[in-house]
Amino acid sequence: PAPPAPPASSQPARGIHSASSSGEKEASPSTLASALSRFARQQTAREEEEEEEQEACKALQEALLKRDPLAIGLPDRHAVNLLRGLLRWNADERISAEAALRHTYFVGN
């Protein structure tokens, strides 16, 4: 035997934009099309911005890698030397801020 049919509702089925008895107006097809078009343009703009940002990040990474002969994220041996001096665990061995500013990395050879 077939399952019994669900009881009929006393209210008609309504969609998201259907008119209701409280005075809501149904959205016209042109209004919906306009909103959808606006949404699609915004999504396209966001995607283009993300793509531009990714391209800029990639260009920056490539530029940094060209200046990184040691392939460790630092541009030259002076930068490595400065970083090692700044990151010494023992404070007595660590270089001061004044000495760091006079380092060859900042003032040249």
pLDDT tens per residue, range 29-53: 888 888 889 999 999 998 998 888 8
Distance CA 21, CA 99 (A): 79
pLDDT tens per residue, range 46-92: 899 888 888 886 776 776 567 666 676 777 788 888 888 999 999 99
The yes-or-no verdict on residue 106 having pLDDT over 80 is yes
**How remote is the C-alpha of 57 from its chain's centroid?**
11
pLDDT band for 19, please (50, 70, 90 cuts).
very low
The yes-or-no verdict on residue 12 having pLDDT over 70 is no
Q: Which two tokens stand for residue 17?
A: 């934009």
Distance CA 60, CA 47 (A): 20
| Rg of the chain on CA atoms, in Å | 33
pTM score above 0.75: no
pLDDT in the model for residue 18? 47
The yes-or-no verdict on residue 23 having pLDDT over 80 is no
pLDDT in the model for residue 92? 92
* DSSP category for residue 37: H
How many angstroms separate the Cα of 26 from the Cα of each of 3, 37, 51, 95?
35, 19, 38, 73
Distance CA 13, CA 20 (A): 10
